Amino acid sequence: MINSGFDRESTLELLKFSDDLPSLPDRFVKIQQVIQNPDTGAEDLAKIIRSDQATTAMILKFANSPAYNPTHTPIGELSKAIARLGSKETVHIATAMSLMYGMILPTGMSNIRCFWSHAFGVALVCEKMAMAFDPSELQCNHERAFMTGLLHDIGRAALGMRVDFSYFERESGHLHQQALVQFEEGYYGLNHAEAGMQLLRLWLFPDDIATAVADHHNPDCTHFLGRICYLANAYCNAHLSDRTGFDSVAATLEEVFASHPFDLSTLAT
């Protein structure tokens, strides 16, 4: 039994009612506004990306990687990089980068990169799973699945930012799956999946995304988004190294898919 420095109610109070509740990064919000507005286009997205040097550099790095540049023709202009990647991939990268550099986590940059690299990987796997089904039948599209995967561990960030600044330096910073859940429940009175649901509801995210995040460690989850997130998280924990760099996640997963295809039959029921 882990001796807790926190009880459940005090943890919930810190997550729910803090005067300085963590907010979504401005760049994340602006990207979502652009992609949800039918009157905006690639140039509007480029304007947001150009405002951040790290995101611009990452977009160019992806566009010049072998996965997107089989002819080895280098480009240095952001507009050409977006055209090469396509708007969907550009939005994915820019959204993840906006969170990586826009949320101040109380830990070193190497831990932050690992945290968001894993989240990006889970998001890509969630999307790939969702794209195998008819969205009209499942009431779920691949963009929603991607966002669920990207935010599935946001409760860890919430615990680190609002409850315990030493969260990422404790044992919790290096655990995965049920070992992590058990540690958190013993130490904080709740786990990061529930903390993530609370934070997403305060940020007014759709309830199906918040519920899926709450259930991403629940093997008996009955709703589609939650099952996708559970399977994608387990898949990445099994096949994607913690040391995989953010810019290598997509290419690495393509290799993993070829050698370790996942079984979608459990999602069809």
Q: Which of 145, 141, 148, 146 is nearest to 200 (CA)?
A: 148
| CB proximity list for 198: less than 8 A, separation 6 or greater | 12, 15, 16, 155, 158
Residue 164's CB is within 10 A of a number of other CB atoms, namely: 19
Domain 9-17+109-269: CATH superfamily, name plus number: Hypothetical protein af1432 (1.10.3210.10)
Residue 198: half-sphere exposure toward Cβ, Cα within 13 Å? 23
Q: Is residue 192 within 8 Å of residue 178, measured between CB atoms?
A: no
The residue type at 87: S
Mark out the alpha helices in the chain (DSSP H runs): 8-16, 26-36, 42-50, 53-63, 78-85, 87-102, 109-130, 135-138, 142-150, 154-158, 177-188, 192-202, 207-214, 224-239, 249-259
Output the CA–CA distances (angstroms, integers) from residue 202 to 132, 170, 205, 208, 239, in the order listed.
31, 26, 8, 14, 33
Mean pLDDT, range 23-37, rounded to an integer: 91
% of the chain residues with pLDDT over 70: 92
In this model, does residue 265 exceed pLDDT 80? Answer: no
pLDDT tens profile 134-185: 655 555 688 999 999 999 999 999 999 989 999 999 887 788 889 999 999 9
- CA end-to-end span of the chain: 37
Q: Is residue 63 within 8 Å of residue 84, measured between CB atoms?
A: yes
pLDDT of residue 137: 53
Q: Which residues of 28-63 are buried (b: 16+ CB within 10 A; e: fewer)?
A: bebbeebbeeeeeeeeebbebbeebeebbebbbebb
In this model, does residue 21 exceed pLDDT 70? Answer: no
Mean pLDDT, range 35-54, rounded to an integer: 91
Structure tokens at 243: 């040391």
Mean pLDDT, range 100-117, rounded to an integer: 92
Domain map (residue ranges) of the chain: 9-17+109-269, 26-102
